[in-house]
Amino acid sequence: MSNVCIMKFGGNTLANKQKLLLAAQLIKSRWDKGLVPVVVASANGNLTDVLLDHAFSIAPNPDKRELDMLITTGERVSVALLSIALRALGVPSVSLTGSQLKLNMCRLWPVFKELARIKKLPRLSAVDRMCRLFFWRTNWARTTWR
């Protein structure tokens, strides 16, 4: 099995073209070392705030499902741009959403809470928990956290 390196990039690290290209270089460096990067990316900069501001300027109490659809567009932009940058650097990549990976946060959330309780994990974002659970449950590969 390959060594998997899970890398999480927050919004500020993808806030502009230079930072996004720096993130792509960091991912490429892991690839060049023989690791298989699995990248999780947040919306770039303050895009989520901008999208929420738009929604609440249209309606004082927007539907939660529609808000979810709206704010996920930021993550889609980030992963697509990172994939484009990685391919330009010669690193094979594809952008995927959680649903494309068949990950269902609603069903997995109780498991995250239990794992956090048992393993005394530090507070993690839902995406980080999702990735950790995916690799613990599937035993897909030895995971390297960097």
50 and 71 Cβ atoms separated by less than 8 Å: no
Q: Which helix (H) or strand (E) holds 137?
A: helix 126-138
Q: Is the pTM of this model over 0.75?
A: no
Would you state the structure tokens that stand for residue 61, as one six-digit string? 């109490």
Domain boundaries along the sequence of the chain: 4-97+141-145
Which stretch of 46-50, 60-64, 102-106, 139-143 has the lowest confidence by average pLDDT?
139-143
Would you state the structure tokens that stand for residue 58, as one six-digit string? 């249209």
Which among 82, 1, 5 is positioned nearest to 36, based on CA atoms?
5
Would you state the structure tokens that stand for residue 12, as one six-digit string? 């500020």
Please report, as a single letter, which amino acid is at residue 127. V
Which tops the pLDDT comparison, 86 or 108?
86
30 and 7 Cβ atoms separated by less than 8 Å: yes
Q: Which helix (H) or strand (E) holds 142?
A: none
Q: Which helix (H) or strand (E) holds 99?
A: none
Report which DSSP code applies to 44: S
Would you state the structure tokens that stand for residue 66, as one six-digit string? 């529609």
pLDDT category at 127 given cuts 50, 70, 90 is low
Each residue's pLDDT tens digit, 36-92:
888 888 888 888 889 999 999 999 999 988 888 888 888 899 999 999 999 999 999
From residue 1, give the alpha-carbon distance in Å to each of 88, 128, 131.
27, 22, 18
The CATH class, in words, for 4-97+141-145 is: alpha beta
